[in-house]
């Protein structure tokens, strides 16, 4: 007799896991943006904020472990949904059923890997091997004064914007909020979150390159 399938074994279950882990990551990205906005208040503000966070190792390490876990299950579920989709794709003469879903899925499969590469680089750049440990302001401004580095951040954050838009929009669907009456709100909320985060994050490298934020 076939045993009951656990949540992570079903397609719906994997989508719910992607949605819940995605919302944890969206929460971090919004909080991170709010912290980074202190760049505009000058070195004391942002360096003081970073020092305060680093003076609470249990808080920092709990957040890191939650994020790591969320990124891990998010990527694992993405791979397994992708593998399932590839296997399930039948004859190529068959009509594609849902062009909108296909478009969103394709967007996730290019923006996801770019985002992952960006995050690995970003962690090495500012957290693991910072040029000036403890001086976040100097690390960020000196970093973005190099056009190639600023360009990489711009590309990474544009990928994040696409990923967030389709992610938030489909996450609500996976969690059951898929009703014609609510779909416009769902889209508007996805646009609002994506616009705030993308414009906010892009503003940092652009402000430094334009000379609005200097050492």
Residue of 208, 212, 214 whose CA lies nearest to 149: 208
Q: Find the part of the chain contacting ligand HEM (CB under 6 A) among 88-96, 103-111, 152-160, 187-195.
A: 152-160
Q: How far is the CB of 67 from ligand HEM (least distance, A)?
A: 6
Residue of 199, 189, 197 whose CA lies nearest to 168: 189
Task: State the virtual CA torsion across 182, 184, 188, 194 in degrees, nearest 10.
Answer: 90
Interface with ligand HEM, residue 36, by CB under 6 A: yes
Q: Find the part of the chain contacting ligand HEM (CB under 6 A) among 76-84, 98-106, 123-131, 207-215.
A: 123-131
Q: Which is nearer to ligand HEM, 138 or 187 (CB)?
A: 138
Q: Which of residues 42-71 bind ligand HEM (CB under 6 A)?
A: 50, 64, 67
Look at residue 175 and give its three-state secondary structure.
coil
**Three-class secondary structure assignment of 143-158:** HHCCHHHHHHHHHHHH
Tell me the residue number closest to ligand HEM, measured at CB.
50
Q: In angstroms, rounded to a whole number, what is the distance separating the alpha carbons of residues 139 and 111? A: 26
Alpha helices (H) along the chain = 11-36, 43-54, 57-88, 99-122, 136-144, 147-174, 180-209
With CB under 6 A as the contact rule, the residue among 9, 10, 127, 178 that binds ligand HEM is: 127
Q: How many CB atoms neighbour CB 78 within 10 A?
A: 20
- Max Cα separation, the chain? 68
With CB under 6 A as the contact rule, the residue among 70, 108, 136, 168 that binds ligand HEM is: 136
Q: How far is the CB of 119 from ligand HEM (least distance, A)?
A: 5
Q: How far is the CB of 31 from ligand HEM (least distance, A)?
A: 10
Residues 159-198, one symbol each (x = binds ligand HEM by CB under 6 A, - = not), give: -x--------------------------------------
Binding interface with ligand HEM (CB under 6 A): 29, 32, 36, 50, 64, 67, 119, 122-123, 126-127, 136, 139-140, 153, 157, 160, 201, 204-205
């Amino acid at each position: 007799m076939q045993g009951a399938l656990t949540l992570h074994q079903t397609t719906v279950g994997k989508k719910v896991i992607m949605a819940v882990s995605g919302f944890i990551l969206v929460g971090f990205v919004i909080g991170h943006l709010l912290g980074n906005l202190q760049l505009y208040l000058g070195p004391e503000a942002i360096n003081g904020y970073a020092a305060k966070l680093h003076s609470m190792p249990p808080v920092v390490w709990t957040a890191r472990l939650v994020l790591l876990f969320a990124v891990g299950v998010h990527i694992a579920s993405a791979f397994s949904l992708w593998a399932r989709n590839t296997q399930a794709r039948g004859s190529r003469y068959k009509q594609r059923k849902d062009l909108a879903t296909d478009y969103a899925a394709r967007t996730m499969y290019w923006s996801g890997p770019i985002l992952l590469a960006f995050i690995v680089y970003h962690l090495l750049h500012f957290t693991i091997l910072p040029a000036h440990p403890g001086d976040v302001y100097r690390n960020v401004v000196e970093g973005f004064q190099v056009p190639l580095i600023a360009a990489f951040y711009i590309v990474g954050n544009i990928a994040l914007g696409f990923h967030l838009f389709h992610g938030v929009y489909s996450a609500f669907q996976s969690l059951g909020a898929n009703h014609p009456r609510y779909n416009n709100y769902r889209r508007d909320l996805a646009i609002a979150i994506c616009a705030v985060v993308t414009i906010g994050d892009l503003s940092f490298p652009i402000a430094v390159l334009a000379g609005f934020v200097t050492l």
